[in-house]
Amino acid sequence: MSERRVLVVLGAVALIAAAGAGWLGVPHLSTGEGGAAARAGVARYHCPMHPTVVSERPGDCSICGMRLVPMEEDPAAAPAPDPKKRTLWRSTMNPSEVSDQPGKDSMGMERVPVESEETAPRAAPAVPGLATVRMTTRKQQLIGVRTSDVVRARFLRTLRTVGHVTYDETNLRQVHTKISGYVEKLYANATGEVVRKDEPLVDIFSPELLASQQEYLVALEARKRTAGSSIPSVASSGDELVASARRRLELFDLSDGQIREVEQSGRARRTVTLYAPISGTILERQVTEGQRIETQTELLKMADLSRVWILASVYEYELPFVRLGQKATLKLAYLPDKTIEGRVAFVYPVLDAATRTAQVRIEVPNPGLTLKPDMYAEVTLSADLGERTAVPASAVMDTGTRSIAFVDQGDGTFEPRDLKIGLRLPDSYEVLDGLAPGEKVLTSANFFVDSESKLKAALAAMAANSTTPEPQPHKH
C-alpha cells in the first residue's frame, strides 16, 4: 500500500509541474488588449448628437441631455494579406545599388540575390475627424442612401437681375452761349420735342456780339484801303486787323457761314442763331423768350435716344460670370411679348458698399424710342464656362472651413474626401481637387453617414489613447 501511495503522490506532482510549465508557455494579454477583449461582448451607448460621448450603460448625454442609443458593432476587419515577396539582386560592395535582374554591379562583381516584400500602395490621406463607414444594404435603404457619378459637365451660368434705362452719355449735349444778351426767339420751346442736327434752336440779341461784328466790318474796310500801300507794314496791318476781328467772332461761336453772311451783306446781324449740335430730344429747357442770359447760363439740354444704356446691378460673387461683349436679353413690363437684345459694353470698377453690387452697362439700339429713360427692365445674362469636373450640390457638405464628400467605394463602404471647390452653381459644384470623373459620391443621407463617420473616428481616437503597450517577456 505504501508503494502505491508513493506512486500516486509522484503522479500528482508530475501533473502539477506539467500544468505549470504549460501555463508559463502561454502568452499573456496586455492591459489594453484585455480591456478591449472584455469590452467586446459588452453593449455600448453613444449620444446621436455628440459622438464622443460613449458609455457602457444606458443613460443621458452629459452635454445635451439626449438619451443615449445603442451602438452597432463594426464587422470584423479582414486580416491583412501577407505581403508578397520578390527577389532582387544587390551589390555586395554598394548596398544601394539594386536591380531586378542578376548580373554584375558597377564594380564588376556579381550581384547577390535578396528577398524583398512588396509594399501595398498608400491609401488616400485620411480626413481629420472622419473615418470610413461601412453599412449593410438594409441600413442604406432605411436611411435613404443615394449616389451620383462625378462627371465632366458643361457649366452654363444664367444671371437674372434688374436694370434701368438711362441716356447714352456720349450722346448728351448742353446748349449754351459764350456771350451775354437776351433770348429773342425760341424755336424749340417745349421739353420732349425732337429736333434734327443743324435745326435752329434759339435767336440771341447781344450788344457785345453786335459790336464785334461792326469791328469786323471796319477791319474789312480798312484792309481794302491799305491793300495798295507801298509800305509793307501798312499793307499787312490790314490783314492782321481782319484776322483778329474774325477770331473774336469765332470765339463767340459764329459759324463760317454766318461770318460769310456778314461779309457779303456788309451789315452786322442784330441777332445770332444757335443750331442743334445733334439730332435728339429736348430733355430740359432752362430759358424763355425775353430772358437775359449770361455766359454760364444753360439754355437747353438734349440727348440722342436712338441708342440707350441699361445699367444692371450684379452681385460681387456673380462678377466672374460677366464678360465684355456678352449677350444680354431684356424684358419690359409694358412689352411682355417682346424681347430686346443688347451687349455688355462695360463693367464699372466701383462697388456699391450698401448693396454689394457693381453696375454693368449694356448698350441697346432704340430705333423706335421704345425704351425711355428711367424705365425698369428684367435683365438676363448667360455665360458658357466650358466643361469642368462637377458633382451635384447635394453631395458637398460645407462645414465653413472645408468641403467634404463621401465616395462610394462599393460593398457598402463610404470614404470621406476633402474637396477643393471652384465655381458654385445652384445645382452643381466644380471640383478642383479631391474627386475624379467616374467616381460615385453620396447625394442623400449625408447627415447620417457624416455622424457615423465622426463617431467611428472619435472611438478610434479614444481606443488609441487608452491602449497601453504590451510588456515584453523577460529572458532568463
Is 376 found in the same domain as 323? yes
Name, in order, each residue with C-beta under 8 angstroms of 442's C-beta and a sequence gap of 6 or more: 145, 146, 147, 395, 405, 406, 407, 408, 414, 449
Q: Is residue 18 part of a domain?
A: no
Residues in the chain: 476
Q: What is the CATH number of the domain that holds 430?
A: 2.40.420.20
Task: Identify the pLDDT of residue 433.
Answer: 92
Is 346 found in the same domain as 231? no
**pLDDT tens across the length of the chain (476 residues):** 455 554 444 455 454 444 444 433 433 333 333 334 334 456 778 777 776 677 888 889 888 888 888 876 554 344 445 555 667 767 776 665 667 778 877 777 787 786 655 444 444 457 888 999 998 888 889 889 999 999 998 888 889 999 999 999 999 999 988 888 999 999 988 898 999 999 999 999 988 888 888 888 888 888 887 776 666 666 677 788 888 888 988 888 788 888 888 888 888 888 888 899 999 999 999 899 999 998 888 899 999 999 999 999 999 988 988 999 999 999 998 888 889 999 999 999 999 999 999 999 999 999 888 899 999 999 999 888 888 999 999 999 998 889 999 999 988 999 999 999 988 887 899 999 999 999 999 999 989 999 888 888 887 777 666 544 444 554 54
Is 293 found in the same domain as 195? yes
Query: What one-character-per-residue DSSP string does 374-399 give?
Result: T-EEEEEEEEEEEEEEEEEGGG-EE-
Q: Is residue 30 part of a domain?
A: no
Closest among 449, 378, 462, 443 to 413, alpha carbons compared: 449
How many structural domains does the chain have?
Answer: 5
With 0-12 CB in 10 A as exposed, 13-18 as middle and 19+ as buried, what is 293?
Answer: buried
Q: Is residue 220 part of a domain?
A: yes
Is 295 found in the same domain as 187? yes
Q: Is residue 402 part of a domain?
A: yes
Q: Is residue 476 part of a domain?
A: no
C-alpha neighbours within 13 Å on the C-beta side of residue 14: 6
Q: Is residue 16 part of a domain?
A: no
With 0-12 CB in 10 A as exposed, 13-18 as middle and 19+ as buried, what is 37?
Answer: exposed
Please tell me the distance from the alpha carbon of residue 23 to that of residue 380, in angstroms, as a whole number: 84
Enumerate the β-bridge partners of residue 104. Answer: 110
Q: Note the maximum CA span of the chain.
A: 181
Is 371 found in the same domain as 352? yes
Which set of grid coordinates corresponds to residue 385?
464656362
Is 256 found in the same domain as 222? yes
Task: Identify the pLDDT of residue 122.
Answer: 41
What is the extent of the structural domain holding 327? Answer: 158-168+305-385
